[in-house]
Amino acid sequence: MIYVLTGENDFALRRKLSELLDVGAERYDGIELSFEQLADICAGSTLFSSKRQVVIDSLGDNKHLWSEAIPLLERAGEDTTLVLVEPKPDKRTKTFKWLQKNAEIIDHKPWTERDSSKAAAWVQEQIKSRGIKVNPAEAQFLVHWVGVNQQDLHQAIEKLELVGVADEKAIKSAVDPAMESNVFILLETALKGDGAAIKQQIDGLERSDDAYRVLGLLASQIQQLVALVLGGKSSSLTAADMGVSPFMMNRLTPYSRSMDRKVTLSILEWTAEADRLTKTVDNDPWMIVEKLLLKIVAVKQ
């Protein structure tokens, strides 16, 4: 049997690989294989076993062998479990098209913000399987805090398992936030009108993050806030329209209710101006981020 594992969700792909094969399975780097080696792999049993389990990584990167692989792959019988790991296969090739008809292709797509509800459900299931109490709101908060990368979520769950608690306080204490969460805290501080904390938070971000990326995330979150204020829709509908996390929209909703159209458009204009200024070589991007946030503080006080 031939399996092809595709997709860039490395965590899910590796889990599937462990389900399909035993620990002692043979593993090869596809780029280093020769025609003769692949022929031997596909031939089936060895002197030591009637069955064979083989993983080949990135055979598609070996362009010449990949183009000649079909007659060899056709030899793989029931006594051989062959798993081709191809995160980003070229689906235009004749070999991949042959595999679509003759192998089981399992795609592992990375989660996006649109999958935040799916991620929260998975988090809740994983935490409960470790004997820890967790409710849907706490699972959603963990996804908001860490992001939707499944590997990052798994590592966060392992940290919470050591603590034995999965409430919001434990998450903030035991798990490092994703950059998106740090930026949201920064925006939230500005929307609360707390100018004194802005400088301190920026100093913390400056030691480990990139100002241009921070501004990009900040602009994205401000756009979500603007959509809430001007769109006149519920947070769930606005999140669906924008393809973003409903949890984030819910967190922004209380602030959107206290903002009028004029202030909202001003914040949007200031954000666009900040983006323009960062493209000028002589400007300090961190100073631009700080000034943008302090302008928001001024209108919220």
Q: Do residues 267 and 218 lie in contact, with contact meaning Cβ atoms separated by under 8 Å? A: no
Q: Where are the domains of the chain?
A: 2-107, 113-174, 179-300
Q: List the CATH code of the domain at 2-107.
A: 3.40.50.300
| 220: CB partners within 8 A, 6+ apart | none
pLDDT digits (tens, 9 = 90+) for 59-102: 999 999 999 999 999 988 788 899 999 999 999 999 999 999 99
**Section 251-276 average pLDDT:** 92
Four-point Cα dihedral 185, 186, 192, 196, nearest 10: 130
| C-beta atoms surrounding 18 within 10 Å | 10
- Whether domain 113-174 has CATH 1.10.8: yes
What integer pLDDT is reported at residue 52 of this predicted model? 84
pLDDT digits (tens, 9 = 90+) for 21-68: 887 889 999 999 999 999 988 886 554 556 789 999 999 999 999 999
Single pTM value for the model: 0.79
What integer pLDDT is reported at residue 208 of this predicted model? 82
End-to-end CA distance of the chain: 66
Q: Which two tokens stand for residue 128?
A: 């409960």
Please name which of 127, 121, 289 lies closest in space to residue 199, comparing C-alpha atoms.
289
What integer pLDDT is reported at residue 282 of this predicted model? 78
C-alpha dist (Å) from residue 37 to 25, 33, 42, 79, 263: 16, 6, 9, 17, 68
What integer pLDDT is reported at residue 50 of this predicted model? 61
Q: Which two tokens stand for residue 175?
A: 């798990």
What integer pLDDT is reported at residue 45 of this predicted model? 58
Q: Is the pLDDT of residue 299 over 90?
A: no
When the pLDDT of each residue in the chain is averaged and rounded to a whole number, the result is 92
Give the CATH architecture of domain 179-300. Up-down Bundle (1.20)
List, in sequence order, every residue forming a beta bridge with 82; answer none if it has no partner: 2, 54
What integer pLDDT is reported at residue 206 of this predicted model? 87
What integer pLDDT is reported at residue 245 of this predicted model? 82
Element spanning 294, H or E? helix 285-300
CA 171/CA 162 separation, integer angstroms: 12
What integer pLDDT is reported at residue 300 of this predicted model? 72
Q: Which two tokens stand for residue 193?
A: 């009108």
Angle at 209 between CA 208 and CA 210, to 5 degrees: 140
Q: Which two tokens stand for residue 142?
A: 């963990």
What integer pLDDT is reported at residue 49 of this predicted model? 56
pLDDT digits (tens, 9 = 90+) for 225-250: 999 999 988 888 998 888 888 888 88
